[in-house]
Amino acid sequence: MSIKNPYLQKVYQQVCERDPQQPEFLNAVTEVLSTLEPVIEKHPEFEAAGLMERLVEPERMIQFRVAWQDDNGKTQVNRGYRVQFNSAIGPYKGGLRFHPSVNLSIIKFLAFEQIFKNSLTGLPMGGGKGGSDFDPKGKSDAEIMRFCQSFMTELSRYIGAETDVPAGDIGVGGREIGYLFGQYKRIKNEFSGILTGKGLTYGGSLVRTQATGYGLLYFVQEMLSVMAQDSPKDKVTVISGSGNVAIYAAEKAQEMGAKVVALSDSNGYIYDPNGIDLHVVKEIKEGRRGRISEYVKTVPSAEYHEQCRGIWSIPCDIALPCATQNELLLEDAQKLIDNGVKLVAEGANMPCSLDAIALFQQSGILYAPGKASNAGGVATSGLEMCQNSMKYSWNAQEVDEKLHEIMVNIFHNTYDAAKEYGMEGNLLAGANIAGFTKIAQAMMAQGIL
Ligand code: NDP
């Protein structure tokens, strides 16, 4: 992917000079700017207003110390982050990630992507993201609680129901959200919707847990129907990861009649040609936080292989990368294509490298970018915020129907935007253009900020 428009080239050059050490962020900026060229050419007023220079610079970045005591009484120090990237269309919204790989580049790339994703949902949410290099793996519940309390003690200064509403992401699930919420309430003496992904007993929304995975499949279903007059039924499907997104993507895929044959974690992958038994997976991953390798103890006919990227060598019709960024590289894309893959849709954020995406597009493979296809999670977070404001809850069917409708709309807005600019079928360009257009109009209306 390259940027040819001189104005966008200049903007990109400035980002490179300012932040040369942020490869993930630079990738995300390249991907977005290279697809927005026709819009910028149609709207010279954006250059006159310095719109793109402002768009690539976060409104605010907060980095803070998180000190906590482990079970041996030893003091540990981690780094916390919150990047409040863009609030043109609503309060900042985006998850918190706890993982040792977390750094400013990763949080900035995630926050930048989130701007466009949130805009695509049609709900009034700006873009933000945060997290810490804390590793929850192997920590006791008490250690997790102390860490979350220390993290929120600092974060609470910067968030609020009308300002910035974080949620979960990798390493931050229901347990962590509960501890974070409790600490905010204690500090502020206030019960308000400052986080989403909450438990159902204290303001959470039904279907939020399933939303990203289910939403991904609603998107895939619509995409197959419109672009290939087909459906997920009987399609051999490979899904990477075995966390929140992967498990519920697998559940909805199976409900739609697809045959899910593989899942993974960061150590390796399982291949079950008879179709994955999700009860077993849930018991391992959700029940006891175990490893995916344990699957073969219960289902001996399945295979376990070390090296998670090997999952892309399994022949399939549909591939859904749902683990993490940069997990599907050029050679993986080539293997999938050689084995006859028809559709690749991202459940994770930026799981495919830029050259892998380019190869899918050149080879005529249907490809959906995460900012469109995984937007179901944040969309349902938006629905959770609505319910919190109304002090009312919708039932599961109501939330699921709204989620379905939002995902179908995202597909059509994305598809139509690409078509309008002469790039029919290029959902990456379509998602960036559709998401950007609303943000650009709001930023222009609000003046130079
Ligand atoms: P979880 O922490 O629940 O699960 C992540 C899964 O990915 C784990 O199974 C983890 O295994 C596995 N994993 C991590 N690194 C690799 C790797 N290199 N190769 C294979 N597997 C790996 O996170 P989520 O499911 O919530 O998030 C997954 C992705 O989806 C992230 O990119 C996230 O940003 C994105 N996303 C999540 C949303 C949500 O609502 N949760 C919304 C939108 C996007 P292990 O246990 O070994 O670490």
Give the model confidence (pLDDT) of 310-328 as tens digits: 999 999 999 999 999 999 9
Residues paired with residue 260 on neighbouring β-strands, in sequence order: 237
pLDDT attached to residue 261: 98
**Predicted local confidence at residue 289, as pLDDT:** 87
CA of 169 to the centre of ligand 1 (A): 8
Backbone angles phi, psi at 227, to 5 degrees: -95, -15
Residue 55 in tokens: 């768009």
Q: How far apart are CA 150 and CA 21, in angstroms?
A: 28
- Residue spans of the chain under pLDDT 70: none
DSSP 330-349: HHHHHHHHHTT--EEE-SSS
129 counts as catalytic: yes
Q: What is the pLDDT of residue 212?
A: 96
CA 245 to ligand 1 center in whole angstroms: 7
Burial state string for 192-229 with b = 16 or more CB within 10 A and e = fewer than 16: bbbbbbbeeeebbbbbbbbbbbbbbbbbbbbbbeebee
In the chain the first and final C-alpha atoms are separated, in Å, by 30
Please indicate whether residue 212, judged by its CB atom, sits closer than 6 Å to ligand 1. yes
Alpha-carbon distances, residue 86 vs 116, 202, 219, 430, 440 (angstroms): 10, 28, 26, 20, 11
Give the predicted TM-score (pTM) of the model: 0.94
Instruction: Confirm if 430 and 417 have CB atoms less than 8 A apart.
Output: yes
Residues counted in the chain? 449
Ligand 1 lined by 113 (C-beta under 6 Å): no
pLDDT of residue 6: 96
- Give the neighbor-by-neighbor strand order of the sheet with 75-86: 60-69, 75-86, 126-132, 92-98, 164-167
Query: What's the pLDDT tens digit per position in 260-269?
Result: 999 999 999 9
Catalytic residue among 129, 198, 235, 259: 129
Q: What per-residue confidence (pLDDT) applies to 117?
A: 97
Cα 78 to Cα 65: distance, rounded to the nearest angstrom: 6
